[in-house]
A and B are shown apart, each in its own frame.
Chain A
């Protein structure tokens, strides 16, 4: 009897005890995630804002720095310069990318797969690589200039715009492909039944259908350009933009106050673009109803061949840019000694292969750490609706609107504080990993929440009613189901961490040099061929990783995703994934 009573008593208290433990663990995890976002997003940004209100000695001066900034004509010019190149690059990129995406999605022209792959190349290169290539092609002694004797004057706004168009092209293309794919064939059937001309159909059906995609592409390109400093640095000549201004103020003159002031100003267009983009995206979801019919492109030889010629031209130009980088990295001394050599690959001025290995290491850690934090964070926010969910969600979206340089500067203010515990991180690889993780936090976070939202809440309910602790359900059910998104997220982190420059350029220290920063330093010192060689290796690493992930993804999808066909689409949505 006694044994039986004890038997009955134990499970009850064990379950209750475990539930209490579980609840405590949940709140602990939510607390940790909140602390993480506070420490690495909110607090550093507050520091930048605050710093822009102080003078160089730390005294409060109100808006004096802003007054000084806007009243120095030379410095204030960088604002109009930035807006000018960003708007022009945006219009050109979106126009070119729209035609390209249209040809890929709405025609049956040959080589569509090849064109798509080639157009993705710029994703694998740091933004200054395009600038370096254009100097080699259109510079005063460039290939084109030597051949034709026509100097287009590439240094300045013209060169920046060209480099940015190439840099942003794949980003715009991916958004537009997605927009052009999400359409309803019945609208086109209706248009042709009503006798609308091709042009009229384009104007009244196609364009309105991709309106939001176009706007989204515009905002993405605009933000990319205005926050980029690689291309203006390399090819800008005397033309100064806000991002290079921050770099010069901070790295050149260590004028952190002015750097913070320009940062806050730079934050405004990026924030506006972000908010508008969010509003637009919210409306876009309702566009295609569940009964929509996918559009089957029809044969149209004339349009197909003219678009084929167009795509060929674009793809060839993109390929040419990277071919030039490869070739100059392999010749002795362009254009005077054209013998083949591997000596530019010795990198003896930047410590050999250490920066590249550091980059791979940091990218791998970013991929592993970032994926874990993003996915667990998204799980906390999405699956346990608490009062903390909304603020945590908002904080997770914030990073996408923070330009990299601003983030880097914010981290200097936060972590280079003598005597503080945070100072331990300063100058370590860890701070580089964290800055990458935050810089690229939002897109993976949205991917993770979307994929978790698609999962039925029944899994958790059944689990908890059977007395299975949530972490077991998470590990055995949630994670395996979401595996394709998890893989896509980690690839996104890896590839971006490999090429990013803007945040980490302020944070590298002796012993933690990175490959993309090495490209910048070598180009700064005039060692352009070595800079090209390092770029080649960065691109090659990215491509290899991308293909490895492609293989992994196929394997995983076959094993865990037999029940859904949409899994691989998530990769494509993440921008870096469309190399198939």
Chain B
């Protein structure tokens, strides 16, 4: 007669061994680096292949959220820092980290190639920019035609009553794209006029999304007619087969820079520096240049569909102002527009 107890013993022991083996598994010899990033997921996938090849000895643990979310998390963890490296988080936010004393100045290898605009003025710099992204409208031409919506050409157009309920834009709390658009409007129009404009814009807004790319993806799916987003997603959605037209507003797009930095925790980790060195290498810059018109090192070809000289289409950004006033602007925005 078989005793069920014995089979059970085997089963439980087997499970225990399996668990033990699995838990012990990740103990390996690679150098670990924890990276916080806000780079678009599709791009990370592309970059990942490259850095895994270039830095085979690195075990990368990456956490990706929208700019505001990843920044808030990094700030909240300041007493128990988890990240070694900040990779591709808006320069505005990186500046805030610097002012809070969370970063370690570091000059990555090859820094001399980086254009002056793309780096912290201090030497060694606390942050280094890798590319510029700017606000752009995604217009779904099919939906616009069906609803009889004219294609907007400017920020000013968006407040026209005809667009009521057809617009989406990112929430500036969570999204870097959202914040750079709001900050640019306030810098350009001055605060009094700027808030008046945003009040009017709010009247037309169907929803504020968490991520900066979602408004464009919603437009691409035909769920909304017009999404305020950034240029890369617009091109990408068009390429993937959606009837999307990209509009760069004629008053000038807001812009920010994706920037890298070494954290206080990462200062003690050589692997963090190795990653930051790679992240401004020519190989990395060539990859960024596949998606962005302007990257840290000059001389890379501009992607199809983007303006050759972006200084003509963007409204200049005062990064210090954007960083210093971020908390105040977001609080005001929250007071006015949060549901």
Contacts and interface: CB of A to CB of B under 8 A. Distances in A.
Contacts of A237: 206-207
Interface string A423-441: 1000100100000000000
A349 interface: yes
B73 to A, nearest CB: 6
Question: Which of under 10, 10 to 19, 20 to 34, or 35 or more describes the interface residues of B?
Answer: 35 or more
B45 A348 contact: yes
Contacts of A75: 338
A239 interface: yes
Given A239-B339, A418-B79, A349 B69 contact: no
Contact of B61 (A135, A348, A510): A510
Interface in A506-546: 509-511, 524-528
A559 B174 contact: no
A248 B208 CA distance: 12
B80 A416 contact: yes
B34 interface: yes
Contacts of A336: 222, 241-243
B322 interface: no
Q: 4 nearest interchain CB pairs?
A: A526-B217, A141-B222, A349-B41, A510-B61
30 contacts: A74-B338, A75-B338, A140-B223, A141-B143, A141-B222, A155-B206, A240-B339, A252-B69, A252-B72, A252-B171, A252-B174, A252-B210, A253-B72, A254-B73, A256-B76, A335-B222, A336-B222, A416-B77, A416-B80, A417-B80, A418-B79, A430-B23, A475-B9, A476-B5, A480-B5, A525-B41, A525-B217, A526-B218, A526-B220, A560-B4
Interface in B208-222: 208-211, 213-218, 220-222
A139, A254, A332, A475, most chain B CB atoms within 10 A: A254
A538 to B, nearest CB: 19
Contacts of B77: 416
Contacts of A527: 41, 217
B100 to A, nearest CB: 13
Nearest to A522: B41
Contact of B223 (A135, A427, A476, A525): A135
A253 B173 contact: yes
B221 A141 contact: yes
Contacts of A416: 77, 80
Contact of A480 (B8, B174, B224): B8
Interface in B180-234: 206-211, 213-218, 220-224
B240 interface: yes
A238 B207 contact: yes
Given A135-B223, A417-B80, A526 B69 contact: no
B287 interface: no
Interface string A401-445: 000000000000000111000010001001000000000000000
B153 interface: no
B117 interface: no
